Amino acid sequence: MLNWSSHFAPNCHCSAGCALLEHINVSYCDKISKNGIEKLSLGCKKLSAFIGKVCPSINDEAVLYLATNCVNLRTVNLHGCSTITDEAIQRLASNCFQLRYLCVSNCTNLTDLSLISIGHNCHSLVTLEVSGCNQFTDNGFQTLSRYCHDLEKLDLEECVLITDNTLAHLANGCPLLQNLVRVYSLCLSS
């Protein structure tokens, strides 16, 4: 695993010499941008885990590079990358269908279109963290539960638009679900 930190030279061309790189963590590196992600994705085709929590410059373009060039991704954490939209998640889901872990918590621009795409394409998904994705509704989770039967862990904290219907869909469609994290109680009926 490579942890990218501020001591790396700004012109480091990691991808040129890292063809075997499988895991990278660039979390909290606020100077990592789509340009670096593009170069990384072009040279690191074996990448299976990308962790980029709270990287404000990771946007749709950066995720599109990963989705296009690193189709073996199984773990993706974009927690707090608040500028990404449905376009990026739809491409990630349609190209990286081996995804087993996905965190898009606090990516507040995402809508049910992301959940629907994940549901239709990522049937091996085991963990999905969507805390703070406040535009997700029962419709998105219905599609997710219809196709993602391997789901074991789901974080729904602050998904304020869901109702009891989401829980019913998950109960019926996700028999392996073991950990349903922090359902915001005001969203559900008493």
The span from the CA of 109 to the CA of 92, in Å, is: 16
- Residue 2 domain-assigned? no
What is the structure's pLDDT at 12? 47
pLDDT of residue 34: 95
Q: Residues 118, 92: contact at Cβ < 8 Å?
A: no
Q: Residue 171 corresponds to which tokens in the numbers above?
A: 């109960």
Domain-located, residue 13: no
Lookup: tokens for 112: 């049910």
pLDDT value of residue 18 = 86
Provide the domain limits for residue 168: 20-185
Residue 168 lies in a domain: yes
Structural domains counted in the chain = 1
DSSP type of residue 17: G
Residue 67 CA, distance from chain mean position? 11
* Contact by Cβ (8 Å): 169, 143: no
Q: Is 7 inside a domain boundary?
A: no
Strand partners, 179: 153
Q: How far apart are CA 103 and CA 124, in angstroms?
A: 15
Residue 75: inside a domain: yes
Residue type at position 119: G
In-domain check, residue 138? yes
For residue 14, the 8-state DSSP code is G
178 contacts: CB under 8 Å, gap ≥ 6 = 152, 153
* Residue 1: inside a domain: no
Q: Is the Cβ–Cβ distance between 70 and 44 less than 8 Å?
A: yes
For the whole model, what pTM was predicted?
A: 0.89
CA distance 65 to 174: 31
Residues of the chain with pLDDT under 50: 3-12, 185, 190
Distance, in Å, from the CA atom of 93 to the CA atom of 27, rounded to the nearest integer, reads 21
**Does residue 28 lie within any of the structural domains?**
yes
What CATH number is attached to the domain comprising 175?
A: 3.80.10.10
